[in-house]
């Protein structure tokens, strides 16, 4: 029921689709160096399930604190669609 297929998503209408945190049952993907606003619009327009995009801090292999950008999607099949079809994840 994505907007790309001209169908309204009930979760969008109710305002409960985008979450402010990533629950444990969501599939996570680290998306560092990506324009989060463009990614958010692509997910909103092309995918159906609930999702969350969040910035956090993590420690890298050199024990330095770095910013980490992460997206979590409820339906694990849609994370595959995101990684294959989203043009914002593939740099040229």
pLDDT digits (tens, 9 = 90+) for 15-36: 889 999 999 999 999 988 889 9
Q: Per-residue pLDDT tens for 80-92?
A: 999 999 998 887 5
- The pLDDT, as a whole number, for residue 9 is 82
Which residue bears the tokens 């890298």? 60
pTM, two decimal places: 0.83
First-to-final CA distance of the chain: 30
Residue with tokens 């740099």: 91
Cβ atoms within 10 Å of 73's Cβ, excluding its own: 24
Q: With a cut of 60, say whether residue 1 has pLDDT above it.
A: no
pLDDT in the model for residue 56: 87
């Amino acid at each position: 029921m994505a907007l790309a297929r001209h169908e309204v998503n009930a979760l969008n209408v109710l305002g409960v689709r985008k979450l402010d945190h990533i629950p444990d049952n969501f599939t996570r993907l680290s998306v560092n160096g990506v324009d989060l606003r463009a990614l958010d619009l692509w997910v909103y327009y092309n995918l159906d399930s609930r999702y969350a995009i969040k910035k956090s801090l993590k420690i890298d292999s050199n024990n330095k604190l770095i910013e980490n950008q992460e997206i979590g999607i409820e339906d694990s099949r849609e994370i595959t669609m995101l990684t294959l079809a989203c043009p914002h994840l593939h740099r040229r």
